[in-house]
Chains A and B, each alone.
Chain A
Amino acid sequence: MHSSLTLISDFSIPDLVLMMQGSIWISSNSQGHAQSMTLVLRLLIQPFRRGMFELGTLLEQSKSNSIFTSLQVILADDDDGNRTVTKKMLEKLGCRVSAVASWFECLSALGPTGNSYQVIVLDLQMPEMDGFEVAMRIRKFRSRNRPLIIALTASAEAHVWERCLQMGMSGVIRKPVLLQGMADEL
């Protein structure tokens, strides 16, 4: 079972091709354990738009067949406004969201083995914390059923993306986060 998550960026075509060839976006962990969720990314190149995270298709699908129903997500973002908005978007998709305001709370929420969060959405710009460091800790922390880590960043720079990939993050969403219908896109 799968659903499609469209990640659109304004990166150059060579960068996108590189990423696609790396299959970095498809979630399968290094131990070969089947993931309970497969993210299949179709990278649509839209030169006129800034990077965005398009979930509109999923909203429509979610009415009938929702892979996102009861998907458990931890959202970590220190900005109250942004956190509230992102949380709402995820909830609209049917996710169950725990929102925290610091990396410490995020790690606490994950617990020792415990809570089965499948996705962590992490703002890279929280103060007093290096988002990459957190991701590394999370990865060391639980190697089985490791949650997917998706980074939120306002940065458009390729090196930030690359670093996310190197750190083992499963995806990057560029801020501001948008929720748009497929119709709009066409």
Chain B
Amino acid sequence: MERSQMYRQLANMRKALFDQGFLDEQFVQLEELQDDANPNFVEEIVTLFYRDSTRLIHNIEQALEKNPLDFTKLDSYMHQFKGSTTSIGAKKVTNECTQFREYCKAGNGEGCKRTFEQLKKEYALLKKKLEAYFQLARQIGPVESACRPK
């Protein structure tokens, strides 16, 4: 595929991620930190996020299997997790985190479990989309590929 085509495809992918609500403004913040010295900064941050959050997801999963549920602990894990999702601009995942915390506050175990399933789906879906995005970005190489949304 011709480079300019790839470039356009990348821009479209990026736009879709924002338009469809997968990413928010915080992601743009990360992009603005990317420069010649750190040309893959955003990808590195996202990779770090997925690596580090695996442990948290696991902890939450285990905590959800306990009986009775410790909502304080669950909320605390989710607070931590949400801190990370927010900082990479993972909008949909963050929304699920917020919802989960609402259910914790309400002591609604079923709600927590349902939301967590949804969260994991969003988390996995975003990962796939971003992987595809970064893969294409790498193919194009160090070209200024970000189009700022208005």
Contact = CB atoms under 8 A, between A and B. Distances in A.
A85 interface: yes
Nearest to A88: B33
B52 A79 contact: yes
Interface of A: 79-82, 84-85, 88-89, 92, 125, 154, 175-180
Most buried by A among B25, B26, B87: B87
Interface in B31-45: 32-33, 38, 41, 44-45
Given A79-B52, A81-B52, A82-B83, A179 B45 contact: no
B83 A85 contact: no
Interface of chain B, main secondary structure: helix
A179 B49 contact: no
Contacts of B52: 79-81
Contact of B30 (A80, A85, A175): A85
B33 A175 contact: no
Interface residues of B, number: 22
Contacts of B80: 125
A81 B49 contact: yes
B150 to A, nearest CB: 11
Interface in B98-128: none
Contact of A175 (B41, B45, B48, B87): B87
13 contacts: A81-B45, A81-B49, A84-B44, A88-B33, A154-B82, A154-B86, A175-B83, A176-B26, A176-B83, A176-B86, A177-B29, A179-B29, A180-B29
